[in-house]
Structure 1
Amino acid sequence: MTDAGHVPGSVRPGGRTARIRTAVLRAAEDALIECGFAGVDLAEIARRAEVGKTTVYRRWGTPQALVADLLQDMAEQSVRRTETGVLADDLRANARLVVDTLTDPRQGALFKAVIAAATHDRRTAEALHRFYAARITEWAPVVDQAVARGEAPAGTDAAEVVRAVSAPLYYRFLVSGDPLDRTVADRSAHAAASAAAAGAYVR
């Protein structure tokens, strides 16, 4: 990581550089989906992206740095939070977004590959943690707004409420294999909103 807090390749470029980055990140996605982290070979990524190997090695340097940049790009491209003025509805939108992402054939496979890689690679794990921290930061304000409206008590930990929405969904996705659909999403959101209103997440 550089002094500016960016992993290699993380500064959003423009023009030809942006096209190269897009092509390389797409190739990295394909490799992760098809082969897992072991398939993220920089020379192979360069071939898939039709980019010079020197460019890829100079810009990213390691497969870990490339996957970290991919996760940063995913965070930047993620859908912004919904603000309806009702906590349960906001959390429902969050839960449905998670379910729609995880059940998408391409995105679901990509997340499984990245999560699997993160279990044995420290840099990938750190990048994954940053990705989810960014998503929690994006959605936490809907809980703070609910507190201000009186829907949840003062001192409610907004980040914990957001985590409570998605945790059961990831459990089904990664562990139990139980059905994952919008009905499940809505139930998870309702449970988190009810618990928040009852004070379960007060710090």
Structure 2
Amino acid sequence: MQSDHSAARPVGRGAKVRAAVHAATLAELVDKGYAALSVENVAQRAGVHKTTVYRRWEDRESLLTDALAEHMAMDIPVPDTGAIETDLRALARSLVQSFTSPAGQAVLAAMFTGAAHLPEIAAARRHVFDDRLTRAEPVVTRAIERGELVGDTDPAELFKTLAAPIYLRLLITADPVDEATADQAVRVTLAAAHAGALRLAPASEPVTG
């Protein structure tokens, strides 16, 4: 009887190959973890020859970095509900849902434990989070335009405040993470924003002398 891997059907070229290999990489990560991840198994699961993978990615680290970056960038959409509270709630709940799924747990393990020592993974992690902050900035911009937030609210600080209690539970305390966690993060974030604690830092005065 053939395994699921050996029964995989060949896929097409270009974008379809990239998508299939990314999906196979994450599936292998979920099933076996970072330590057992191999280009050969990814290729077999994706239904492509390993040389096809090596033509696009130099090694398993570059493959994993690319797959993680793609997954993190696409997994959490940026909402536009018409109100800052519901926008932030949607973001926080999506973050919780993403990282409590099997794929999300595997991604966290790879990015913060198994492969965390790799410079490529550290750089990808920084890029992914910077990109996510940039893409979510319109949530704050629209809230300022609606008069829900003061004009000098710092989007980066706001989203860091929103995400911090969720990541604390996921990565440090191992406390339960659910929608209640997300909703509490929203309440704390809005309270801090309305208290003026999340404003842009004033520009430093030029040094003269």
Distance apart, 1:118 and its partner CA: 4.5
Aligned partner of 2:121 in structure 1 is: 124
**TM-score, normalised relative to structure 1:** 0.84
Residue 139 of structure 1: aligned partner:
136
**Map of 2:64 onto structure 1:** 67
Structure (1/2) with the larger helix percentage: 1
C-alpha distance after superposition, 1:25-75 (max 9, x if no partner):
122112222333222322232223231121111110111211121123214
Contact 1:147 1:154 in 2 (8 A): yes
The whole-number CA distance in structure 2 between the counterparts of 1:148 and 1:19 is 40
Provide the rounded CA distance (Å) in 1 between the counterparts of 2:83 and 2:169: 26
Please state whether the residue corresponding to 2:176 is helix, strand or coil. Answer: coil
SS at match of 1:90: helix
Correspondence for 1:190: 187
Superposition pairs for residues 35-184 of structure 1, below 5 Å? 35-184=32-181
- Contiguous gaps of at least 5 residues in structure 2: 1-11, 201-209
Task: Report the aligned-residue RMSD.
Answer: 2.0
Aligned to 2:19: 22
Partner of 1:10 in structure 2? Answer: none
Q: Which runs of 5+ in 1 are unaligned?
A: 1-14
Structure exhibiting the larger radius of gyration computed from Cα positions:
2
Cα distance between partner residues in 2 of 1:202 and 1:79: 25
Q: Point out the more displaced range, 149-158 or 186-195.
A: 149-158
* Cα distance change, pair 85–50 in 1 and its aligned pair in 2 (3 A): closer
- C-alpha distance in structure 2 between counterparts of 1:72 and 1:175, whole Å: 22
Q: 2:106 & 2:65 partners in 1: Cα distance?
A: 17
Checking the alignment, whether the CA contact within 8 Å between 1:92 and 1:190 is kept in structure 2 is no
How far apart, in 1, do the equivalents of 2:13 and 2:91 lie?
35
Checking the alignment, whether the CA contact within 8 Å between 2:110 and 2:116 is kept in structure 1 is no
Question: TM-score normalized by structure 2?
Answer: 0.82
- Contact kept in structure 2, 1:40 and 1:63, CA below 8 Å: yes
Q: Give the % identical residues.
A: 37
* Separation (CA, whole Å) in 1 of partners of 2:88 and 2:49: 44
With 162-171 and 131-140 compared, the bigger mean Cα shift is at 131-140
- 1:200 partner amino acid: A
For structure 1, which segment, 122-131 or 146-155, has the greater mean C-alpha deviation from structure 2 after superposition? 146-155
Q: Distance in 2 between matches of 1:72 and 1:105?
A: 17
What letter matches 1:29 in structure 2? Answer: L
Shift of 1:92: 0.8
Aligned with 1:55: secondary structure? helix
Shift of 1:76: 4.4
